[in-house]
Amino acid sequence: MRIVKNISCWVRHSKINEDGILLCTETLACEGERFPGLYSCAQHALDKRSRCLRSRPSKSERWQARLENRNRLNFSKKGSHIKDSKDMAEYLQKSTTKLPPKWFSTRAALSGCETTQPVYFVDCESDGCGNLLEIAVISSTGRVIIDTTINNKVSVKELIKSNNPRFHNYIYSIYDPGLDHLDDITCGLTLDEVEQILVEGGITDRSIMIEWSVNNFDFHTIWKAFERNRHNGGSFLPNKELWLKGITDLWSKIIPGSPSYALDLLHAMVFPESGELPHHRALLDTKKLKNMVEKAMEVCL
């Protein structure tokens, strides 16, 4: 039986037409060209992605799953009992966490006071090769400085082909080219245009940049993208010391026992009225980041 199953699998994975082009293996009847890095054609890949999105657990269900699978070392930490948004609200109301000094300028900026260092919130999306795909920056007053996909000067198909298969649907969802435009150049602004907008928006090497990460992912991704673009890289951007991290610098101190610090899950717990907002889109994630930091400023002493 196992041999028959293996032979059937080999036959399907070896579908090829008279021109030597590998064909989709999703169904025996499909004659579509296999998408780079996949066994299926582009249409079947998109259908599979839609089914996965529809069957994905809700954020509250994912929070419960993280709660059940958390490390036993977290049981004794503050906030480890939080099971839903009601528990979260009660916990934050009683919080006695002191605001770290490095966040004083951020609190002042968010409260409308004049500061010598302007504060900005940033989020970016990148692929498995470190290419910058999308970037969004919002000021402390809520003004959107930039929100754009990045023109990587290659086609969507080439960008997908150069990446690990697990990034294929992700890249497609960022650029959303449609099946008839996979050979088009990635839409959006070039890095030179992005730099011009950021500088005109008031960002200098003395600005405070806030991201949601553990290891300065956004800083490294953005800096390296500009470094590949030209020799002096992101010299107009502030140094790493001025990039504050929403997780390790703030929320991990407010809720040390949290089962998850994923932005979409934590935001849904703190702001249950926000509903099932999408994730991994730069502008939406930047707005969530700003909400979380503003909430932290209210909670901290």
C-beta separation of 40 from 48 below 8 A:
yes
Least confident piece of the model among 192-206, 249-263, 265-279: 265-279
Is pLDDT at 18 greater than 70 in this prediction? yes
For residue 144, what pLDDT is reported?
98
The residues that bridge with 144 in the sheet, in sequence order, are: 138
Say if CB 122 and CB 212 are below 8 A apart. Answer: no
User: Which stretches within the chain are classed as H helix?
Assistant: 2-13, 42-54, 59-69, 85-93, 104-110, 156-161, 168-175, 191-200, 217-229, 252-254, 263-270, 282-299
Rounded Cα distance between 246 and 261, Å, is: 10
- Burial (0-12, 13-18, 19+ Cβ within 10 Å), 253: middle
Element (H, E) at 144: strand 144-149
Mean predicted lDDT score pLDDT of the chain: 87
pLDDT at 63 over 90: no
Provide the β-strand partners of residue 135: 124, 148
Compare 9 and 180 and report the one with higher pLDDT.
180
Q: What is the pLDDT of residue 1?
A: 56
Lowest mean pLDDT among 3-12, 42-51, 165-174: 3-12
Taking residues 170-186, report their average pLDDT: 85
Q: State the greatest distance between any 2 C-alpha atoms of the chain, in Å, as a whole number.
A: 74
Return the SS3 of 288: helix
Least confident of 4-8, 109-113, 239-243, 274-278: 4-8
E strand or H helix at 136: strand 132-139
pLDDT higher than 70, residue 138: yes
> What pLDDT score was predicted for residue 37?
64
Q: Is 123 helix (H, G, I), strand (E, B) or coil?
A: strand
Q: What is the pLDDT of residue 255?
A: 95
pLDDT at 237: 92
Q: List the strands of the sheet with 119-126, edge to edge.
A: 144-149, 132-139, 119-126, 208-211, 243-245
pTM confidence score: 0.84
